[in-house]
Chain A
Amino acid sequence: MSLERIKIAPELHDIMPEEYQDLVQRATYGNNSRGWKDIGTSKELIEEHSLCAGCPESMAFRYILASLPNPEDTVMVGSTGCTSLVFPHVGVHNIHSLFGNQNAIASGLKRALTVRFPDRAKDVVVLAGDGATVDIGLDMTLQAWFRQEKFTTICFDNELYANTGGQESGLMQKGFVAKMAPVGKTFEKVRLPEIARESGCHYVVNCTVSKPNLVEKVIKNAIHVAREIGPTYLQLYTPCILEIGKNSMEGLQEMRDSEKPTERFAYKEYISETAKELLTEIAAKEKERKAAAKKQLAEQTA
């Protein structure tokens, strides 16, 4: 979507529903410094969602959309799961893939976009649950990493199959008893972040979404590294409050409890040497841009 094209025909402007007028006038397309702090003061790229009240996944989704560095040139690839209910309402191009196929779809898409738009940065971001990423789609996930496909894979890890009633998934913790897994998980949680690192991902993070600043930082890093260097992987804990017996107000605390240093979602980060160089370079440019903006503002107010 070109920013030049996001214009409503003047003669029909009055009949357009307000949400579309807002998207043109108040959304943050093309804003270099967009981030989670825009939430509440600008038009979000997620219109409404039908997820449960207090769902951490809905928080994560909003932070991610607010943090995309280049939403007008981003295509998200989703998979079956609760996020499927949200994708129809977002203001970003997206594709719903068959369950588990998301990384294969994203591979083809990224290559096609690179051929079609050789002079323009087009970001592809996969957003799928743990069932699609680690169980049913593990083959596609790993093969995309082995091939060094240049896109970001985000796994919303809720440690079970949530919207089908709570079956055991590979990312479920050992011993956990769920509604549809009554005897408890008998083997350890699959260590996908480590597998991602060994499979060639250049930027890997395992964390919760309790801190929006952190989510913004890792999303931007992952997308920039994927754009320039190779595959990146984020595993974000988005607990399903219904399936673990919590109420709407307890999702945030559940994430905080799970990110303590000895817990399974303690912050872990891996950055390859080439990715480190790139991120240092981007950080330096960002610092320069902010300093210039500050100077300009000071000159204007003087």
Chain B
Amino acid sequence: MNTQYKVMPGPEHFLPPSASSMGIRLPDPGQGHIHGSIVPEEEAMEAAARQILQGKVPTIFPGPLVLWAWNEKAAQKAKAIRELFETIKECAASSQQPMLIPMPDYRPKYPKINPEIEINPNHPNLTIWHNKIDVCMFVGVHCHQANLSLKIIRGGTNCYTIAMCAQAGHEDAMLTFRDATAEKILRLSEWVRKLKGSVEPPSN
């Protein structure tokens, strides 16, 4: 389906429409989407790695599905996420400040949340804005809470959102993967390493 709507960095407006209501569809296995357009997964990998290497504060937001060792798969993903973060730090230019901030649960903790150390789906824009995060990747966040957060971020900030989704992907992210596994997260890590030095880093 051709559509005029693009899922782009905001601020879009206070209540942005859900991307699916604007005709954006989810990718099939082996695919991803960039700004709502379906692309092969490798293309999405490269684009995500470029965004990470271009961002001033590229940040990974791990959610409860990977923060807690529910099973062996979750523990492996947590390991892969740490590996990805270490790779980003290693490949980052001096003008970049990579971060790893958890979303431990979904309780509406406002105003108790400390945006320095955690993110919350009920007001994710606070964390994004406060830390000047301009590129972020959600991983291990339950579908509804991820969609909610991605919409709020798109509505109120100019942050570029990436979803490393274990299910069918997220229309409301600017770039999404689906069927995430530890191997897929490590593949993104390899792409970051591969593109190191070939991407213009952000200016100070």
Contacts and interface: CB of A to CB of B under 8 A. Distances in A.
Contacts of B68: 5-9
Contacts of A89: 107, 109, 112
Contacts of A8: 67-69
Interface in B19-38: none
A157 B70 CA distance: 40
4 nearest CB pairs, A to B = A9-B78, A11-B82, A88-B107, A7-B69
Contacts of B66: 9, 12
A19 to B, nearest CB: 8
Contacts of A17: 102, 104, 114, 117-118
Contacts of B112: 47-48, 89
A10 to B, nearest CB: 7
A48 B109 CA distance: 10
10 contacts: A5-B70, A9-B79, A11-B75, A12-B66, A15-B102, A16-B104, A17-B102, A17-B117, A17-B118, A88-B107
Contacts of B102: 12, 15-17
Contact of B75 (A9, A20, A88): A9
B107 A11 contact: no
Interface residues of B, number: 23
Nearest to B82: A11
Contacts of B114: 17
Contact of B62 (A6, A10, A12, A88): A12
Interface string B65-97: 011111000110011011000000000000000
A12 B81 contact: yes
Interface string A38-73: 000000000110000000000000000000000000
Contacts, number: 55
B11 interface: no
B17 interface: no
Nearest to B118: A17
Contact of A15 (B69, B101, B109): B101
Interface of B: 62, 66-70, 74-75, 78-79, 81-82, 100-102, 104, 107-109, 112, 114, 117-118
B81 to A, nearest CB: 7
A20 B70 contact: no
Given A9-B68, A88-B108, 14 more contacts: A5-B68, A8-B68, A8-B69, A9-B74, A9-B78, A10-B75, A12-B67, A12-B78, A12-B82, A15-B102, A16-B104, A17-B102, A17-B117, A48-B112
Q: How large is the interface on A (under 10, 10 to 19, 20 to 34, 35 or more residues)?
A: 10 to 19
A76 to B, nearest CB: 14
Contacts of A11: 75, 78-79, 81-82
Contacts of B100: 12, 15
Nearest to A6: B68
A222 B100 CA distance: 45
A21 B156 CA distance: 31
A5 B81 CA distance: 20
Contacts of B82: 11-12
A247 to B, nearest CB: 25
Contacts of A5: 68-70
Contacts of B101: 15
Contacts of B117: 15, 17
A9 B100 CA distance: 14
Nearest to B80: A11
Contacts of A9: 66-69, 74-75, 78-79
A88 B123 CA distance: 14
A48 B107 CA distance: 12
A96 B75 CA distance: 32
Among A5, A8, A15, A89, residue most surrounded by chain B Cβ atoms (within 10 Å): A15
A20 B120 CA distance: 14
